[in-house]
């Protein structure tokens, strides 16, 4: 072993270290790490999708709720319209349907007096 | 494929190319496993740590500065993974052998003697402080420059030189009887 040149690698000690620490099953180890990397990539993609999933679901639920509400409102106004049409057809005075105030008491009284 | 540089592979890996990262794993797995073995002693723990190091590097590859060398960056991550593994599992320190251990172990057959020497080297290595283990493994076995080791370990270059010196002295003193047998 080199003693006088400590600034240079000691070839004998280095070779012994390499032999002593040399791992076997290189291909198996590389395969194992590559599989772990692929699994990690797939996991990351799923976690990204998962982070998108929650706000996506909230947004979709909101849109569905708004759509349902709008549909219900439209349906309600359509039903009101058809009820008004039916009442007119039955001969109810238009003034009642118009929602305007009825004849005043004075008007009614003068009509009765004229009738006598 | 041998012409592709680390920087090119790292750039492709940073864009999600796991095959490119696989080539980096293929290139650096032996060194990463040796460094982890030098730190942890146990081969199984070392392989777990090396794998964890590669996974951490894969997750962090987008933050790797491609203008800098890849090898020290990766080794720093592997070293941290090995340290974490050591903390989790408890570092297995090897008992120091008695002074006449070499006499008991050394046989007439040179190959058997070399095998004993390798075993003994790992045992003695395990008794050294962690930083000395890393410094001598990376300098003498892996061929890193002092400056690179300093970057990996996060210490001044002079400290690396001192660690290499002390580690060599300890190994030479302990292995001398074994070396006589295999000469």
Domain count, chain A: 1
B168 touches A45 (CB < 8 A): no
Three-class HEC string of B58-86:
HHHHHHCCCCCCHHHHHHHHHHHHHHHHH
Whether residue A80 is contained in a domain is answered as: yes
Average pLDDT score over residue span B115-135 = 91
Whether residue A36 is contained in a domain is answered as: yes
Give the other-Cβ count within 10 Å of B67's Cβ: 6
Return the pLDDT at B49. 95
d(CA A110, CA B27): 112
Contact B18 A38 (CB under 8 A): yes
Task: Report chain A residues whose CB lies below 8 A from the CB of B164.
Answer: 6
Task: Report chain B residues whose CB lies below 8 A from the CB of A47.
Answer: none
pLDDT tens for each residue of A3-50: 545 788 988 899 999 988 988 889 999 999 999 999 988 776 656 556
Of 3.50.50.60, 3.40.50.410, 1.10.1740.10, 3.40.50.80, the CATH number of B6-89 is 1.10.1740.10
Distance from CA of A78 to the nearest CA of B (A): 56
pTM of the predicted model as reported, rounded to 2 decimal places: 0.66
CATH architecture of B101-182: Orthogonal Bundle (1.10)
Please give the interface size between A and B, counted as residue pairs whose CB atoms are below 8 Å apart. Answer: 100
Return the pLDDT at A66. 83
**ipTM field:** 0.75
d(CA B104, CA A40): 49
Task: Report chain B residues whose CB lies below 8 A from the CB of A7.
Answer: 161
Nearest CA in chain A to B168: A13
pLDDT tens for each residue of A75-95: 776 666 565 565 555 555 555
Give the other-Cβ count within 10 Å of B31's Cβ: 23
Domain ranges (residues) in chain B: 6-89, 101-182
pLDDT band at B119 (very low <50, low <70, confident <90, very high): confident
Q: Between A79 and B117, where is the model more confident?
A: B117
Closest CA to B74 of B148, B177, B166, B16: B148
């Amino acid at each position: 072993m080199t003693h006088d040149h400590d600034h240079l690698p000691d070839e004998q000690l280095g070779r012994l270290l390499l032999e002593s620490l040399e791992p076997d099953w290189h291909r198996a180890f590389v395969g194992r790490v590559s599989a772990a990397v692929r699994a990690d990539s797939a996991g990351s993609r799923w976690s990204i999708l998962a982070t998108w999933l929650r706000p996506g679901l909230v947004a979709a639920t909101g849109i569905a709720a708004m759509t349902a509400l709008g549909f219900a409102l439209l349906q309600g106004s359509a039903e009101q319209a058809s009820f008004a049409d039916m009442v007119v057809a039955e001969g109810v005075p238009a003034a009642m349907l118009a929602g305007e105030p009825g004849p005043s008491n004075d008007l009614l009284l003068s009509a009765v007096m004229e009738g006598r | 494929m041998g012409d592709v540089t680390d920087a090119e592979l790292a750039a492709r890996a940073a864009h999600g190319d796991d095959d490119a990262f696989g080539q980096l794993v293929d290139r650096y797995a032996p060194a990463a496993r040796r460094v982890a073995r030098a730190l942890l002693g146990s081969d199984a723990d070392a392989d777990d740590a090396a794998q964890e190091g590669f996974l951490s590097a894969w997750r962090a590859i987008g933050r790797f500065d491609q203008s800098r060398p890849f090898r020290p960056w990766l080794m720093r991550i592997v070293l941290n993974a090995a340290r974490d593994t050591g903390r989790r599992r408890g570092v297995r320190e090897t008992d120091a052998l008695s002074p006449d251990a070499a006499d008991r172990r050394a046989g007439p057959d040179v190959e058997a003697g070399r095998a004993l020497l390798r075993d003994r080297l790992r045992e003695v290595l395990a008794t050294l402080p962690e930083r000395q283990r890393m410094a001598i493994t990376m300098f003498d076995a892996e061929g890193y420059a002092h400056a690179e080791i300093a970057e990996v370990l996060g210490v001044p270059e002079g400290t690396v030189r001192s660690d290499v010196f002390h580690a060599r002295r300890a190994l030479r003193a302990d292995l001398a009887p074994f070396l006589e047998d295999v000469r």
